Structure 1
Amino acid sequence: MSTARATPALPGAAEIPLQPASFDIWDKKYRLKSKQGVAVDADIDASYQRIARALSEVETTPELREHWRERFLWALRHGAIPAGRITSNAGALTHKPATSTINCTVSGTIRDSMDDILEKVHEAGLTLKAGCGIG
């Protein structure tokens, strides 16, 4: 069995600029903004840094946090983009205190009764309010 090896990108390799539509989607859906609508993430790399920092915060030592922050940042800069709610909400607690990085949740089985239907609608509302999705 062979082992795959990662090779570094060529030094000075040209970056592909974002298409206007891609920039617009990032700006509207994933760029962190204050409650007043002022951009917190100055650019896409600032979003990557915010995400990498947030994802590495679970580590138990400063050394491990830095180790994983660097690796997450490298991955983000090289095309490994996480799910939308992670991209939008990781590291955003100060500006979005009621949100989650859970991208998709599964609702329970709904019994054929109005009480159960309304209970599941309530649960779905709380899930969506927290910024999660329902699958």
Structure 2
Amino acid sequence: MSDTTDVGPAVPPLDALLLADPSGAAALARSVLSGLAGRDPRDVDLLVSTLEAWFDAAGSCSRAAGALHCHRNTVLNRLTRVAALTGRDVSDPRDAAELYTALRARRLRAGGRERGVARDVTALRRVSRRTVDP
């Protein structure tokens, strides 16, 4: 069991897992999102933003559309493009899990400039080295 009393806000478990193996996390993101490589960066940003909004909306295209200020069908069309480019369909739970994990790894690698990402990597590393005997 880890002692987290002196490190501030808790690090989300998935972030902790990805930060524990940065090279593995980067490889996962590259593999899962490889279909987006080489595309126009604006197009990639649009598709990634749509995926993130869809996940934030718990899979609701209507709520994702509201957050993105677009029509629900626009979200559906973008998710279809993501599926065509990545070979992963968000309606399949395994594919959705891979996409979500790859997006988290991508954000962490980019420096965690958005909400909810691990806030203190140094503290996480301190905690991961320290264990408490049961």
TM-score range, shorter chain: under 0.3
TM-score by length of 1: 0.28
Which entry has the higher C-alpha Rg, 1 or 2?
Answer: 1
Name the structure with the higher helix share: 2
Larger RCO (alpha carbons 8 Å, 6+ apart): 2
TM-score by length of 2: 0.28
